[in-house]
Amino acid sequence: MIYINGNEIRNVDNLRLSDYLVREGYKISCVAVECNGFIVPKTQYEEKILTDCDVIEVVSFVGGG
């Protein structure tokens, strides 16, 4: 199983990280992603394949004043 932001997510094995982010409505330029304790560079979002036991955290940047 894969955990994303603390939630168990099913049926995403072998999905590219970039495809998951787009599918879930994230704007890729406005997020940071950590996988298993390591920051994933944006240049690797297309290459990173979600696999069993991954623990992913997606953080969205929000502007404010």
The CATH number given to whatever domain includes residue 13 is: 3.10.20.30
Indicate whether 65 belongs to any domain.
Answer: no
Is residue 19 assigned to a domain? yes
Strand partners, 17: none
* Total of domains in the chain: 1
pTM of the model: 0.89
Residues facing residue 35 across a β-bridge: 38, 56
Q: Indicate the SS3 state at residue 27.
A: coil
Q: Name the strands in the sheet holding 7-9, side by side, starting at the edge strand that comes first in the sequence.
A: 7-9, 2-4, 55-60, 31-35, 38-40
* Tens of each residue's pLDDT in the chain, 65 residues: 899 999 999 888 899 999 999 999 999 999 999 999 999 999 999 999 999 999 999 999 877 76
* Domain span at 15: 2-60
Residue with tokens 């890729």: 28
